[in-house]
Amino acid sequence: MRDRSAPIDNAKNAARIGTIVFFGVIGFSVLRALLSPAEPGKSQFDWNVTLRFAVVSGVVSFLAIFAWIQATAARAMPAVDILTEGISASDRSKPAMWGFVAMEYYWLVMNRTYVIFIAPEGLYGWLAHGPVAASNQTYFEPYQRMLQDERFMRNHTAIQKLSGLPGGFFFDRSEIASIADDDRKRWGMGGLPHTGNIRVNLNSGMSREFIVLGSINTGRIRHKLMSIVGVQALSDL
């Protein structure tokens, strides 16, 4: 399940943040110079100082984000041990779960990928992959194949352990107020294949929005959530 291209993708995402910081510093400096009156005898704007500061800020941002992403990926290694565990005798007789792969945005430009399992007791979410570049259009396919493995989807113990790893979640059916779906494409996804969004609204007032990867229809996911978990569905997002 580990993607050997992950460090390259992590570097691309970190570089994107560094580039945003670089141009952000320049833009802020120019705007500040335009809005602030120049003092007599002094230059209103120093390009050399601005460029040096922008480069340093961009490089520091790149290094910090890349190190953080790599550390996050390292913390996901226990998932390998869980995935290689055998299924227990008690789980063999349980019905297979149903699930889908989705991306969630955070910090405006960062993203993470979840494998979400639908069970009668609620929703399990495994943080399967950290930030990924939009150019890596097939990175999520191994997770989709995993969802087609009926033996694994009967392994409730493993799925519960995966959702308990850092970044994972479990929403008890009593916590879910409603769900909504939207089959419109999401801006900023580049060439990543996706079909729309699923939003989970909680009784606490919080909500989580997931971008469904691949070709699975969001309406089908809504129907599964209604029939398996028994939650109310809204008309759209």
User: At 169, which CATH number?
Assistant: 2.30.29.30
Same domain, 220 and 110: yes
Phi, psi of 207 (to 5 degrees): -145, 155
Please choose, from the candidates 7, 170, 148, the residue with its C-alpha nearest in 3D space to the C-alpha of residue 73. 7
Using 50, 70 and 90 to split pLDDT, how confident is the model at 116?
A: very high
pLDDT at 41: 52
pTM surpassing 0.75?
no
Q: Which residue's entry shows tokens 């978990």? A: 229
Same domain, 66 and 107: no
Same domain, 152 and 44: no
Angle between helices 6-35 and 47-75 (to 10 degrees): 150
Would you say residue 218 has pLDDT above 70?
yes
pLDDT at 1: 47
CA distance 75 to 71: 6
Q: Do 60 and 71 contact (CB within 8 A), yes or no? A: no
Same domain, 61 and 129: no
- Within 13 Å of residue 86, how many CA atoms lie on the same side as its CB? 3
Domain contains 237: no
Would you say residue 103 has pLDDT above 90?
yes
57: domain range? Answer: 6-75
For residue 91 the two structure tokens come to 């789980």
Using 50, 70 and 90 to split pLDDT, how confident is the model at 221?
A: very high
**Helix (H), strand (E) at residue 114:** strand 110-119
pLDDT at 81: 81
Mean pLDDT to the nearest integer, 124-148: 90
Predicted confidence (pLDDT) per residue in 29-57, tens digit: 888 877 776 555 555 667 888 899 999 99
Would you say residue 108 has pLDDT above 80?
no
Using 50, 70 and 90 to split pLDDT, how confident is the model at 78?
A: confident
Domain contains 234: no
